[in-house]
A and B are shown apart, each in its own frame.
Chain A
C-alpha cells in the first residue's frame, strides 16, 4: 500500500540559541526526511526567537512524524503545518545574474519587467535582478534566464505565513 507523497510547508518557532539549526537539520538527516528548502532568521529579538520555515515532502504518516519529532525538540515553541492549516502565502526571493548583450540583453530586461523583477545592479554587459514570488514563479524566471545568459543564482528558500489576522 503506497501512500501519496505531498509537499508541506512547516513553520517552526524556536529559541534562537546555538545549535538549534543543527538540531533541526540533524533530525531530518538522521531520520531520513527530505528538506526541499529551509530558511531561518531571528524574528523576535525581545524574546530571542527565530522562525524556521521548512518545505518538506512525504507520505501523510511521515509528515505527521516530522511535525511530532520537531515538536519534541526542547527549544521548539510551536510547529505549524501551513499546508494543512488553511490558506497561506509563500514567498521566495532570488538574485539572478545575467550576462549578455544585444537582443538577449533586451529580452532579459523585458521578461524581468513581466515578472516584476527589479534591476539592482547593472553593467553594460550584465544585470542582477531581484525577483520575489512563490517558488514556482522564481523557478520559471530562473529557467527563462538560462537561455539569456544566466551566470549566477542565489535563492532564499521559501518563507510562509497564514492568511488573516492570526499569529503563528
Chain B
C-alpha cells in the first residue's frame, strides 16, 4: 500500500480556510491560473461566488460588501490581467481603509520570472497599493497565510491584502491546519487601546474649550457601529457641535441639532467656519486630508488639536497636533465618556452658549440653498426628492465620483453608520455601481441606490450584466447633466470656461441600455414628474436605471477653491468673480 497522501489540494484548502474565516461571498472572475480554485468552489455550497464582468468591479463590490457589513470583502481573480485590473480597486480600498482579501492567481512557481502567459509581477505591482501582500510558494504555507491575511486586513487600520497563488501551489496536497485564535503576529501588532494618561489629558483640554468642535471621520465606522453610538453619547455629554468627513457620514445622526454637516471643500459654511474659529478640535478617526484642510497654513489656526487615530503615521502627517492619541476610535471614545462621567468637569457654559449662537448665525446663511424652477430639475432638488421617498425605508447609498457625489453627501441625510459607500480618498469614477451590487448581496431586502453621474456610470456599466444575472435590484439614479460635471465646474472656475473634453458626447440611451441588459430604464427631465418617477423606481423589483436630466450648468457649492482657506468659501455662482483662485491653488487638484 502506498503511504497515505494528504487529502487536501491547495485549492480545497484555500476554500476551507475561507469558510473558517466566516466568508460567505466571493466576488471574482475565473481564468487559467485559478481554475483549481473554481473547481473547488464548484464542489461545495458554503461559499457563494458572484461573477462580475470586470475585475475592478469585483474589488469595488467587495468594498461595498465590506463597508456595509463590517466584514472582510473577498475577491478572487486570475493572474496577469486579472490582477492588474484589480489594482484600481485595491488602491481605492487602501485609501479608504476598507478590509479586503484579494486572491490572485499566478503562473506555476517554476515559470515565475519567465514572462509566461498571463504572468505579471503581482506582488511587485500591488506592493504600494495594499496594506500587505503575500506570494505563497509552498502549499504548506497556504492556510496560515490566508488566516494571517484576514487578520492583517481587518485589524488596526483596515486595508486590502493580496495573496498571490501560483497554480502548482493550488494543485499540490497538504493537510489543513485550522487557524489559531486569536492570531498573534510576530511583528504586526496594532495599538487598539489608548494610553489612559493621554485620554485624561484630552478630557482636560476638551473641558477647557470655549469654542470646541468634534471632527469625526471614517475611523469611527471602521471601529464598528458601537463607536458611532459612543460618538453620539460623547457629543450629548459635552453638548459640542459635530462635523463629519465624507467618509465619516453616518457616524453621527444627520438630523441631530448638534450636527453641522460635512466639512471640507464642499462642506457646509457652518462646519468650515466652526473648524476655522474653534479653540479645541477633537479629531476622531479622520486624517486631515487636503480636501478637509484647504490651505494648510490657515487651517484652524487658533485651536488646540487632539487627534485620535489607530494609525500612528496619520498623526502629524499634514497638520501638527497638540495631543495625539493612538488607538481604536471606539475604545478611545469609551474611555473619554467614562473619564468625563467620573470627573464631571466644569465647562464654560457661557462661552459654549456664545459659540452655539455664532454657529446658529452661520447656519442661517443656509449655504446649501438653490433655486428650483418649473423647467429644469436641479440636481440638488432631485436628491432632496429622492431622500424624501427613501428616508423611511431601509436603504443604502453608494455613489460614483464627481458633483453628484458631493450633492449626495450634502443632501442625503445619514442617520446610521455603514449606510454610505463612496470613494473618498482615491476618487474612483465607476466605484458606485459595483459597490452597490456588493451592498445588495449583503442586504438582499434593502433598497440600494447608486447615485451616479452619466459619465461615471459608463466606467463600469458592464456590471448591469451582473445585476441581471443575480437579479440584484440595485437602483442607479443618474443625475445626467451631459458633462463630467466636476471637471466642467473646475474648467469654469479655473480655466476660463474652456470645456476641454468634459462634454459627455455620444451618450447611450440609458432606457434602451437598461432594456438591453434586462433591467428597467426610466427617464425624467420634468420637475413635475420627478416624484412619480422616483416612486416608480422604488416600486420596481429588479435593477433600474433612472436617467434624470438635470440642469447642465449647475455648480456644486459651497466650495473652498483649492489652495484657499476655510473662510474663503464660494457660496454660490455670484461669488466666483470676486475671489479668483491663486496661482498656488491652480497647481493643486
A-to-B contact residues, CB < 8 Å: 1, 14-15, 18-19, 22-23, 26, 30, 61, 64-65, 68-69, 71-77
Contacts and interface: CB of A to CB of B under 8 A. Distances in A.
Contact of B320 (A19, A61, A72, A77): A61
Given A18-B135, A65-B313, A71-B312, 7 more contacts: A14-B187, A15-B187, A19-B135, A68-B313, A68-B315, A77-B186, A77-B187
A19 B316 CA distance: 28
Interface in B124-171: 124, 127-128, 131-132, 135, 152
B123 interface: yes
Given A74-B152, A77-B187, A64 B128 contact: no
Contacts of B312: 68, 71-72
Given A18-B135, A65-B316, A68-B312, A75 B124 contact: no
Contacts of A74: 131-132, 152, 185, 187-188
Interface in B39-59: none
Interface string B164-192: 00000000000000000000011110000
Given A22-B127, A26-B127, A74-B132, A15 B186 contact: yes
A68 B315 CA distance: 9
B311 interface: yes
Contacts of A1: 297
B529 interface: no
Nearest to A72: B313
A23 B187 contact: no
Interface residues of B, number: 20
A64 B127 CA distance: 22
A32 to B, nearest CB: 13
B395 interface: no
A26 B124 CA distance: 10
Contact of B128 (A18, A30, A68, A76): A30
Nearest to B317: A65
**Which of B131, B313, B320 has the largest number of chain A CB atoms within 10 A?**
B313
B127 A23 contact: yes
User: Which 7 interchain pairs have the tightest Cβ spacing?
Assistant: A68-B313, A74-B132, A77-B187, A74-B188, A68-B312, A69-B313, A72-B313
A68 B127 CA distance: 18
A73 B131 CA distance: 8
A157 to B, nearest CB: 23
Contacts of B311: 72
A1 B297 CA distance: 9
A65 B288 CA distance: 14
A20 to B, nearest CB: 10
A61 B318 CA distance: 9
Contacts of B188: 74-75
A76 B315 contact: no
Contacts of B128: 26, 30
A72 B313 CA distance: 7
Interface in B302-358: 311-313, 315-317, 320
A14 B312 CA distance: 19
B115 to A, nearest CB: 19
19 contacts: A1-B297, A14-B187, A15-B187, A19-B127, A19-B135, A22-B124, A22-B127, A26-B127, A61-B316, A61-B320, A64-B316, A65-B316, A65-B317, A72-B311, A73-B132, A74-B131, A74-B152, A75-B187, A76-B187
